[in-house]
Structure formats: structure tokens, C-alpha cells
Amino acid sequence: MMSNDQLGRPEHPELSEEENELQRGTDPHTVVGTDPVAPATSDPDPEWQPDPGRADEWRRIANEIGRERRPRREDVYPYLLIRATASGDRGRRPTWPPVSCWESPDILLLDASYTGEFDPARLVVSPVAGRSYRVFVRIWNLGLFPATGVHVKAWAINPGFFGTGNQNDPYYQQNIIGGRWVELADRTRPSCTALVELDATWDIGPDEFGHHCLLAEVGCPMDPASGLLLSNNDRHVGQRNLEVLLGAADAKDLFGHLAGLVPEDFTLELTHAGPAVLGTLQALGGGVLLDQEGGPHEIVLPELEEVRFGVSTGTAVHLLTAFRTRGRTLVAASDRLAERRGIQPGAPGRGRVHPFDRPGGTRRLIERLGPDSWERIGTVTDLPLADALLDGLARLLDVDGFEAGRLASRLGGPDRAQHPLRLTLTDADGGLIGGYTVVLG
């Protein structure tokens, strides 16, 4: 092996121990480094307590950030709907006040004797006892995601004020009619809506009353319904509490029956809806209304200003307020109440609500007057509410019978016009229980 000298490389110098130590320096005690010495700390404060609002503050901050960046539900998931009203309904709930939630245009009937394709010219607005009907429900998906596994169902309920608080009342037992499974595309496609026929007919017994409420519900796994069948709370639910009485049809039994369902201390208000029901009637009747003999009637609804009685609020004409309390029944005429309280008819101005349009508004005004003044605004009697309402309605319209055509002519408007009268039931706090619409013509 050749040495460094032979290769022309310099040899390492020979160093003494002192020279070697001077050049190398001393080795460290720990060659991988050390942690810094922790400073001395004091004991924690024994009186310290966590701030209970601190977590809520950070949660609020996180929620605000989430809202800023969170898309609307219908832009991500299916957004199913059965309309509560014929126009402008995109699923906002509640609709009442002031928009009715029991006049759905999406629950349609055809007589079961007709077995052909759906025909709007054959639509039935007022079913009768002893007949069977095919039930169709129009459903909508307003979401940007298609809806699969969509289940549509419908029920029939005795006529009345089905709603908040009485779902378990035996009188309002929900009798299932039938159902159907379907699919809906997203809202960018025509098939985002469908008219679905249920898999069974609605059979009305010959001994039944003949007037009913119809409920329909739609839901899917990605957008389920609540299951409570409350049309004012859930866009998945549609409710059809509407009856059309034309010509010689007698309205006495229906008005008396509905008034007889009002509990003690609850309030029943009677209003004229005017043209607000036009779209629903056109949808339910296919553009016309048929009388008892099958004769067609053009749908003509008066403007609010054309109604001869009551107080116009800008959204409706308020006719009567009725309730029973402490063994006495009051049926108060709205025009007399308004005069007594110095309330002017008509829309109250932009951004304001007429006192009669506020939930429970007329009842509160009546209570402020005190029982001693009730006879000045209406009829005070010991009669049950059903009898008192019929008497009050007869006095208001100055009629001695309840033939639908006669009542309609007294209410005014164009010749042969129909008059949609809404009966609205509220509890002692003014909260909505339910409503029923009777169309007279």
C-alpha cells in the first residue's frame, strides 16, 4: 500500500496532547441537546371557576361563520312541498296569519265511475255521501337534488277545525285513504312536479255527513315530514277544508255543525276572503264550479269593496266574532265593534296590520269593552254557539233561510258571484287551531 508521501499528499502533523485538546475543544456532556429549564410556577387559584358563557360565545361565533358559508337547504337536498295556497307558496311556514293554510289546491278529486286519464273538466269540488272518488295529489320538489323514495299519502277527517292541539281527538280520527311511491327530479327539470293518483279510492259511506277534511303528506328519506299533519307548520302537508254550496243547497247544517265544534272560551271568526281564493277554486274545479244538478258556474269572486257587510281590513272583510264564556254566548258584528272602538275600515297603511287581522285581535277588543257593553256590538244569549251563530248570521244578512244562492245575493258583488266565507278557530291566546272555508254561490 502506498503512503501519503508516495501519493503526494501531506502528512498529518504530530500533535501533543495539549495541542490536540486546544484544536478539538472539549466534548459536551449531552450530545443530543437538552430541554430548557421550566420556570417556577405558582399554585392555581383555588377560587377559579370556569365561565359558563364562554362556550356559548364561541358556539355563537362558529354558528355565524357557518351561516355565512352555508347554502340554503333547497340548494343541497330535496325540498318537497304540497302547497297551502294556489300562488306564491315556496314552502314558508307558517302561512297564517294572514294566508289560509287549509285551502290547498293540490288535493284533487275525480268521481271513481270515470276510469280514464286525469281530466280537469271532471274535477269534483264538493264530494257527497255514498260516492267513491279517485284522489290525486300534486307534489313538488323545489330542491336542486332529485328526490327518491318519495311517499305520498292522504287521509279523510270529519269536517271541522283539525289542527294544533286536537290531533288525538277521536272526532278528528285520521282515516287513511291510500298512498303511492314515486320519484321527482330536481327543480331544473319539468319532472320536479307530479300529479300522483293514490292506490285506493276514497269511499264515503251513505250514512256519513258528506262534508270532510282532506289531508295529504309527502316525504322522502332525505326530506322527511314531521308526521304531525299540521299544514300551518309543515310544508310537507296539504289540507283541503273547503266546501262549495251553490244555488238551492242549504248551508244551515254545515254552519251549525262547525259552530258546534267550538270549545268553551275559544273564538270563532267569520270573514269574507274575496278574490284570495280564486286560484284555489280554479285548481279544484278545473276552471268551473258545478251545482247539485251538474250545471256549470263560472268562477266569479267579488272584490273586497263590493261586499256589503262587515269591515274591510285590506286582506279580507271581517263579518262576525263569536264565542261562549261563563254560560253566555256572544255573536259580535264586526262593523258595530269597529264603530265602537273607532277603527276605520280598509288597509291600515304600509307596514301596519289592521287590528282585526291580528291573531285574536277582535276578541281582545271585545274583552276590553267589558261584558256590560257586549249588547251594543252584537247579540248576547244563553243559546249554544251553534244556534247563536246561525241567528247572528241571519241578522247580519237580513235573511230568514240559509239557501246558498240567497245568502250569496245578499253579500253583494257581481251577478251570480261566489262568496268564500272563512271560519277561523283560535284558542284563548289567539293561536290558530284550524279553519274551514264555505263558498256560497
List 223's β-bridge partners, or say none.
220
Q: Poorest-confidence range of 53-57, 111-115, 291-295, 370-374?
A: 291-295
Rounded to the nearest 5 percent, the helix, strand and coil shares of the chain are: 25, 25, 50
At CB < 8 A and 24+ separation, what contacts does 403-407 make? 403/247, 403/248, 403/249, 403/250, 403/251, 404/245, 404/246, 404/247, 404/248, 404/249, 404/250, 404/251, 404/440, 404/441, 405/246, 405/247, 405/248, 405/249, 405/440, 405/441, 407/251, 407/440
Sorting pLDDT into bands at 50, 70 and 90, what band is 73?
A: confident
Q: For position 81, what pLDDT does the model report?
A: 98
- Is the pLDDT assigned to residue 76 strictly greater than 90? no
Q: What is the Cα–Cα distance from 236 to 81, expressed in whole angstroms?
A: 5
Q: For position 71, what pLDDT does the model report?
A: 77
Q: Any idea which residue has 314558508 for its cell?
A: 92
Contact (Cβ atoms closer than 8 angstroms) between residue 148 and residue 220: yes
Contact (Cβ atoms closer than 8 angstroms) between residue 137 and residue 106: yes
Q: Poorest-confidence range of 9-18, 184-193, 217-226, 228-237?
A: 9-18
- Angle CA 386–389–391, to nearest 5: 110
Q: For position 41, what pLDDT does the model report?
A: 65
pLDDT digits (tens, 9 = 90+) for 312-344: 999 999 999 999 999 999 999 999 999 999 888
Strands 242-245 and 432-440: parallel
Report the share of the chain in percent with pLDDT over 90. 71
The distance from CA 50 to its chain's CA centroid, rounded to whole angstroms, is 43
Q: Would the CA dihedral through 367, 370, 376, 379 be positive or negative?
A: positive
Q: For position 33, what pLDDT does the model report?
A: 57
Nearest CA to 258 out of 356, 389, 96, 405 is that of 389
Q: What is the Cα–Cα distance from 240 to 108, expressed in whole angstroms?
A: 9
Q: What is the Cα–Cα distance from 223 to 232, expressed in whole angstroms?
A: 18
Q: For position 36, what pLDDT does the model report?
A: 65
Nearest CA to 299 out of 123, 128, 47 is that of 123
- The helix/strand/coil state of 299 is coil
Q: Name every residue whose Cβ is closer than 8 Å to that of residue 107 and which is 6 or more positions away in sequence.
A: 82, 135, 136, 137, 154, 214, 216, 238, 240
Omega before 275 within 30 of 0, i.e. cis: no
Beta sheet of 237-240, edge-to-edge order: 175-184, 147-157, 213-219, 237-240
Sorting pLDDT into bands at 50, 70 and 90, what band is 204?
A: very high
Q: For position 22, what pLDDT does the model report?
A: 63
pLDDT digits (tens, 9 = 90+) for 272-284: 999 999 999 999 9
The distance from CA 280 to its chain's CA centroid, rounded to whole angstroms, is 16
Q: Would the CA dihedral through 295, 216, 360, 91 be positive or negative?
A: negative
The per-residue pLDDT of the chain, averaged, comes to 89
